[in-house]
């Protein structure tokens, strides 16, 4: 009976059967900690003079983006989380959901805007993005480190600002994001923005 059950179960591997240990940690990996999915941001293996070795980590909770520090015993096991990046087109956001279309199957999905609020600040409608699926659920947008966006609203700069180079002012971008830009930036110009910090980098 046991053999029959084992044979029956073989063709149906479940994601939960995959296990990852602290020895296999890599930055960017996703792990399941007590039923909650986290992304590994940083980790450090520590071997103290006394006591067992352990691993210090900084994790980001996928559900809300909150970062936490957590320590695990060396060799501790976790369920490995299945991740897949799919090329999709960002169609539009309607105030409640963000709508995407798979560029291969043309299937459309709607994701709560709150889930992608950070990434949507730098994403224009009709642009192609890599949507990260975690355990087959859309979870995040993988952004490039910098994007070029048009300035749609800002106060006019004063003559001489370019030469002096000092001071900043708020500017609204085509995605609705508001960032600080140099005084010489004007409406209609395209600028390069660091998507990790939200900082102005240069004129595009």
Please provide the distance, in angstroms rounded to a whole number, between the alpha carbons at the two ends of the chain.
68
Residue 99's closest CA among 120, 81, 76?
120
Domains and CATH numbers, the chain: 2-80 (2.30.30.30), 83-142 (2.40.50.140), 146-203 (2.40.50.140)
Q: Model confidence over 1-40: pLDDT tens digits?
A: 444 433 333 334 444 457 889 999 988 888 999 888 888 9
Neighbours of 33 (CB within 10 A): 16
Out of 46-55, 69-78, 134-143, the most confident range is 69-78
CB neighbours of residue 90 within 10 Å: 21
| Side-chain-side CA neighbours of residue 125 (13 Å) | 8
């Amino acid at each position: 009976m046991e053999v029959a059950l084992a044979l029956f179960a073989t063709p149906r591997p479940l994601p939960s059967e995959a296990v990852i240990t602290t020895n296999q940690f890599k930055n960017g990996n996703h792990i399941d900690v007590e039923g909650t999915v986290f992304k590994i941001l940083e980790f450090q293996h520590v071997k103290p003079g006394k006591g067992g070795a352990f691993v210090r980590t900084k994790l980001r909770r996928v559900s809300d983006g909150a970062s936490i520090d957590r320590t695990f015993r060396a060799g501790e096991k976790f369920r490995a989380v299945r991740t897949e990046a799919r090329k999709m087109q960002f169609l539009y956001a309607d105030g409640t959901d963000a709508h995407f279309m798979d560029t291969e199957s043309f299937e459309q999905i709607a994701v709560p805007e709150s889930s992608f609020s950070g990434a949507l600040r730098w994403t224009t409608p009709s642009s192609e993005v890599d949507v990260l699926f975690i355990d087959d659920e859309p979870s995040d947008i993988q952004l490039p480190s910098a994007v070029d966006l048009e300035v749609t609203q800002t106060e006019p700069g004063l003559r001489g600002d370019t030469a002096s180079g000092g001071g900043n002012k708020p500017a609204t971008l085509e995605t609705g994001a508001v960032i600080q830009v140099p005084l010489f930036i004007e409406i209609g110009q395209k600028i390069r923005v660091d998507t990790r910090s939200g900082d102005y980098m240069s004129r595009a």
